[in-house]
Structure 1
Amino acid sequence: MCRWASRRVCSERECSKEPVPGEFGGGGCQICPLQGIAVNPLGPLQPIVSTTPSWPWLSSMSQWHQCCSPPLGLGALSPQPRGRPSAKAPSLPSAMRCAPPAPFPGQVSVGPPGWVQVSGRDSLSAPGRDMLLRPHSRIEVIEGARNNLPDQEALRGAGAIRDLAEGLTADDLLLVLISGGGSALLPAPTPPVLLEEKEKLTKMLASRGAAIQELNTVRKALSLLKGGGLARLAYPAQVVSLILSDVIGDPLDIIASGPTAASSHSVQDCLQILDKYKLLTSLPKSVETVLSSSPASPTSLEDYSHVFNVIIGSNTLALDEAKRQAEDLGYATLVLSAAICGEVSRVSALYCQLIQLVCLAFAGLRDGPLGDEVRAKLLQLAAELEIPGLNPAETLQALRGLGPDGPVCILAGGETTVQLQGSGKGGRNQELALRVGLGLHRAQAAEAGSPLGNCEIIFLSGGTDGQDGPTAAAGAFSSLELVDEARREGLDVEAFLSNNDSYTFFSQVQHGHHLLVTGLTGTNVMDIQAILIRAKERS
């Protein structure tokens, strides 16, 4: 008999399936949605469910949120297989396989007796869909937000979740699983704003280079459920949110636009963002109406005493695991930052300077005039980008401890932005990889006897969700030889970049050999970059 059959959170009270040890990250019934929901780093996987009013397990969960392996997830969904680079590519650490599989990428609400409602994207695999939609299941699945854009199905799902939350009592528990894509999955525009108006405004902000923090600040100001709205509607029920962070710094009110977290932003913050991107004078009348009637200050934290938010996965955890695997492969490894941000052209320049500095060290030229010049450029770029947690002096000191006796791996993560100028097809990871390839080519051409030519260099940038922009790739690899390879095939790197057409470029050069294609991973903890450098063998 299923171990969960006596629990009110079990969706199948008459389930007769035997537990399956080890499957889906832990033993248990395949169709019970809450088995294996947390991982204790100090011991084996332990399912945690409490139906007592005191919620004794909540106080202990905060010490478990920094675990990465073994993976955590819903018993109803098997983890998606992780992709690997082409066999022709140099051996890489498993940076793209380290993020834990997500709980279902959306919102799962457990409400009146054992009824579960799920709002999710169309990325749900066929096996997962079969397991969720068993005959007579109490689980209702509403799929929407195709291509990570709010649509009518997502609007219907948000309405159903809103109705469920409003009907809860003090005896109920609302369980919310939050990950990247949550903003698109839970659209509930504040009347009279229409979904189409809000989506158009969001697209305009994104096309002008607005960061995710800015996008979600505006979204919150125009939503009934974002910015803590879902948690407020659920009162007096207890609310527990398990969160995969896809935002730099893990701010609870920005991840998925914070449906269960108190907003730290006011309407004035929203107006400043709209003014920054020159959209304040062209707003729809409905948006002006909502903003003009919004409270001047954020909601008090006291209004969220019934809410418990826990971050169970993040970019930092992914990088830590990538570092461990790189070291197991023999790389001297440095984690640069989990908060890489800024426009891709500036971030790519920073990475090029880092790579040059390591290659100079391999050649014994780190402390010469060229080394001084590279260090000065690196410090200037770091100051301009203002990357949180990146201390340039400490980074330079750490780089001195790398090589030249063995291969070097530099890891970083975060989320960059692209200033759209063309009409091509691409994503921030592919554009970053292409710009690094071009930057390395230019650096080698500008310096006679450049030490770059004495090193093997691979740069990888990829999204942990498996999709970079509106493309089929998670990201791309680049190298010092990329530009020359492209020219031999008649491809102009700069022309592709000026049209923001990085996916088309990588699809064509060497028949797509440089693309990172993993398929949708089922999780999202932002992007990861890996730089691999080793000295070439002397002939």
Structure 2
Amino acid sequence: MASTLRVLPGFARTRPVLWGSPASWSSSSMTLAEQAWQLFECAVGAVMPGPMIRRVLTVDAETGQMKVRDRNFQLHHNVYLAGFGKAVLGMAAVAEELLSEHLVQGVISVPKGIQAAMESAGLKEMLLMPQSHIQVFEGAKNNLPDKDSLQAAVAIRDMAEGLSADDLLLVLISGGGSALLPAPIPPVTLDEKHLLTKMLAVRGATIQELNTIRKALSHLKGGGLARAAYPAQVVSLILSDVVGDPLDVIASGPTVASDHSVQDCLQILTRYDLRETLPRSIKTVLSRADSDPRGPPCCGHVLNTIIGSNSVALAEAQRCAEALGYQALILSTVVQGAVGRLARFYGLLAQAAIVRLSSWVGMAKEEEDELRKLVEELQLPDLKLGDVLKFLEKARGPVCLLAGGEPTVKIQGSGKGGRNQELALRVGVEMSGCTGSNWEALFLSGGTDGQDGNTEAAGAWVTPGLASEAASEGLDVAAFLANSDSNTFFQRLQGGIHLLSTGLTGTNVMDIHLILLRPC
């Protein structure tokens, strides 16, 4: 099994590539880990950029009409393209093909190394044509803004500011867009903005809080790009990587008017004890933000459209799980909160599921009560625990529980890891209470972009035997967690077979979590 997992191809496909079509799958010949890999691949394959662009954007070559959902736009060699994010390379390739001669110029900012990764994987559909009108900037290694992504932001801003009322700016946005479009307002420097963002992230700030600060310090975020492009028409096609798909938060809302104030920023900075240590430059920008003579950006000339999200990926994973013979249920598409508490929830849920699926004596009342309290604490509005437990009571045979979102990690120490690997490691410990039953159990957490934290892994999978396996190899789980070093732990455990090593996928819709349960 180890060798099979290590050579699993990247997931940048519209259909599963390892196991063939659902009709050819044989659940009896696949291990639980192989099935988990397959379902993760299905989820990622459903949100590849090309098919999603084609579903919402069409161009009539005879009339020169571009249609985005139910809106029509007249084309006459007047289209400019800007893009930023982890899925934008593939989005831009399809957009240029559809727009053909109507595309005058384009500038996109994409992750460092993604073109080489797509070329190496033979994914020609994810690459621009040789004589493309689109200029590509690669930057933001490890999702951190840098000089390359700043250069891209300047080029995008210059292009947008040169447009007229006769022009149309097509904006392609996906997860990772914030780091790939840094344009700090002077006198704030890129290093100062990056340091503040890093300090907030280390303290456990949510993506919403991070983006509130980013918008206040940026020329292009918080509607700034829309303002720069005025009076041109702006059409934004957005692949969401944020819980709930809020337009003003995805990539910090460059084409959406921001409704956050300086007071919101100050409250966030106070919450994480950073207000008193701010550089003078940041204090200067914040002090004058509410009196900005430009006023809030007018976005009446903008059409913002979500083209894909985590819910699309989960729906496809559910379909594929059912093709494998599982009874599948999507728990939530808005999972967030601290990984430690979320791990406890998943561990208790797996135990509750096994209790209901087997002849075990029921869970202790205090554990069921804790499970209910965790649902409330984690604020999962779309998860109805009573309905989930009823589903488990009625289930017969293998069960697959799916969820998606983006939990938070408070970084400690200097280890390597990411929220998916740390969540998996913590769940593995919590699932130790599931050992001894006549049911196999597995938990997987993976980032759909293929990159988890400061590592090259997308995530990891674990079973209830993780704690005993670690002990037998002399690995102290608590020590690795205390140093935020989940990646090193999984590298050392059984030769790294628990890691999801996919490479960059070319898309990004947050994380996929799944629990698989089947009788031994």
TM bucket (normalised to shorter chain) is 0.7 to 0.9
What does residue 382 of structure 1 align with?
Answer: 375
Q: Confirm or deny that 1:525 pairs with 2:509.
A: yes
1:132 paired to 2:123: no
Tell me the distance in 2 between the aligned counterparts of 1:120 and 1:189. 18
How far the C-alpha of 1:458 sits from its partner, in A, is 0.6
Q: Say if 2:110 and 2:137, in contact at 8 Å, map to a contact too.
A: yes
What letter corresponds to residue 67 of structure 2 in structure 1? W
Aligned: 1:213 with 2:204:
no
SS in 2 for 1:57: strand
Q: Does structure 2 conserve the Cα–Cα contact (< 8 Å) formed by 1:225 and 1:259? A: yes
* Residue number among 113, 124, 133 corresponding to 1:123 in the alignment: 113
- Partner in structure 1 of residue 462 of structure 2: 478
Paired residues of 1:459 and 1:478 also in contact (CA < 8 A)? yes
The aligned residue for residue 44 of structure 2 is none
Partner of residue 48, structure 1: 59
Q: TM-score, normalised by structure 1?
A: 0.78
SS at match of 1:103: helix
Partner of 1:75: none
Q: Within the alignment, does 1:393 sit opposite 2:386 as a pair?
A: yes
Distance 1:202 1:437 in 2: 31
In structure 2, distance between residues paired with 1:167 and 1:122: 27
Partner of 1:103: 91
1:411-440 deviation line (CA, Å, top 9, x unaligned): 000001111222111111011111011112
Match of 2:480 among 466, 475, 496: 496
Gaps of at least 5 residues in structure 2 are 1-11, 15-48, 73-85
SS at match of 1:529: strand
Match of 2:431 in 1: 440
State how 1:99-498 maps to structure 2 within 5 Å.
103-104=91-92, 114-126=104-116, 127=119, 132=128, 134=130, 137-295=132-290, 303-365=298-360, 368=362, 370-402=363-395, 405-441=396-432, 443=433, 453-498=437-482
- Structure 1's 154 and 56: CA in aligned 2 closer, same or farther, altered over 3 A? closer
For the structure 1 residues 468 and 306, does the alpha-carbon distance in structure 2 shift closer, same or farther, using more than 3 Å as the test?
Answer: same
Instruction: Please state whether the residue corresponding to 1:471 is helix, strand or coil.
Output: coil
The separation in 2 between residues aligned to 1:277 and 1:312, in whole angstroms, is 34
CA shift, 1:302, in A, is 8.5
Rounded to whole Å, the distance in 1 between the matches of 2:62 and 2:179 is 31
AA paired with 2:322? E
CA separation of 1:492/1:297 partners in 2, compared to 1, >3 Å: closer, same or farther? same
Do residues 38 (structure 1) and 49 (structure 2) align?
no
Change (3 A) 1:100 1:193: closer
Larger % of strand: which?
A: 2
Q: Which amino acid in 1 is paired with 2:486? A: S
Q: Distance in 2 between matches of 1:161 and 1:466?
A: 26
Residue 534 of structure 1 is matched in structure 2 by: 518
Question: Is the partner of 1:399 in helix, strand or coil?
Answer: helix
Structure 1 distance, partners of 2:276, 2:127, is 50
Give how far 1:325 is off: 0.5
- Please give the alpha-carbon distance, in whole angstroms, between the structure 2 residues aligned to 1:121 and 1:379: 40
Q: Verify the 8 A CA contact 1:101 1:521 in the aligned structure 2.
A: no
Contact kept? 2:197, 2:210, Cα under 8 Å: yes
Deviates more, 1:293-302 or 1:234-243: 293-302
Q: Among the aligned pairs, what percent are the same residue?
A: 54
Deviation at 1:396, TM superposition (A): 2.8
Q: CA deviation at 1:132?
A: 3.4
Match of 2:79 in 1: none
User: 2 CA distance for matches of 1:395 and 1:311?
Assistant: 29
What's the TM-score once normalised by structure 2's chain length? 0.80
Greater per-residue helix proportion: 2
> What is the letter of the counterpart of residue 132 of structure 1?
L
Deviation at 1:104, TM superposition (A): 4.9
Aligned structure 1 segments of 4 or more residues deviating by more than 4 angstroms: 34-37, 49-53, 99-102, 110-113, 128-131, 296-302
Deviation at 1:143, TM superposition (A): 1.8
Greater RCO, 1 or 2 (C-alpha within 8 Å, sep 6+): 2
Instruction: Give the direction of change, closer, same or farther, for the CA distance of 1:131–1:247 in structure 2 (3 Å limit).
Output: closer
Alpha-carbon distance between aligned partners in 1 of 2:448 and 2:392, rounded to the nearest angstrom: 26
CA spacing shift, 1:302–1:57, aligned 2, 3 Å: farther
Q: CA deviation at 1:374?
A: 2.9
Over 3 Å counting, the alpha-carbon distance change for 1:419 and 1:50 in structure 2 is farther
Relative distance call for 1:238 and 1:51 in structure 2 (3 A) is: farther
1:241 shift after superposition: 0.8
Q: 1:60 to 1:133 in 2, by over 3 A?
A: closer
Specify the code of the residue in structure 2 equivalent to 1:38.
I
Offset of 1:264 from its aligned partner?
2.8
Q: Which amino acid aligns with 1:533?
A: L
> Partners in 2 of 1:431 and 1:37 — Cα distance?
31
How many residues align? The count is 452
Larger deviation, residues 240-249 vs 390-399? 390-399
What residue number does 2:491 align with?
A: 507
Could you tell me how far 1:535 is from its partner in structure 2?
Answer: 2.3
How far 1:149 sits from its partner (Å)?
1.1
Q: 1:210 to 1:286 in 2, by over 3 A?
A: same
Cα 1:378–1:138 shift into 2, 3 Å: same
Partner SS state of residue 276, structure 2:
helix
Distance in 2, Cα, partners of 1:406 & 1:121 = 43
- Mapped to 2, the partners of 1:51 and 1:165 lie a distance apart of 28
2:247 corresponds to which letter in structure 1?
A: L
Q: Is the 8 A contact 1:429 1:476 kept in 2?
A: yes
How far apart, in 2, do the equivalents of 1:484 and 1:152 lie? 46
Secondary structure of the structure 2 residue equivalent to 1:132: coil
- State the shift of 1:123 in Å: 3.3
* Alpha-carbon separation, structure 2, partners of 1:292 and 1:502: 41
Q: Distance in 1 between matches of 2:325 and 2:392?
A: 17
CA drift at 1:343: 0.6
Can you list the C-alpha shifts for 1:442-485, whole angstroms capped at 9, x where unaligned?
Answer: x35xxxxx7x5322111000000001111111000100111111
Letter paired with 1:393: G
Checking the alignment, whether the CA contact within 8 Å between 2:88 and 2:172 is kept in structure 1 is: no
In structure 1, C-alpha distance between the alignment counterparts of 2:322 and 2:88, rounded to whole Å: 19
Does structure 1 conserve the Cα–Cα contact (< 8 Å) formed by 2:203 and 2:272? Answer: yes
Q: Name the Cα RMSD after superposition.
A: 3.1
Distance of 1:344 and 1:378 partners within structure 2: 15
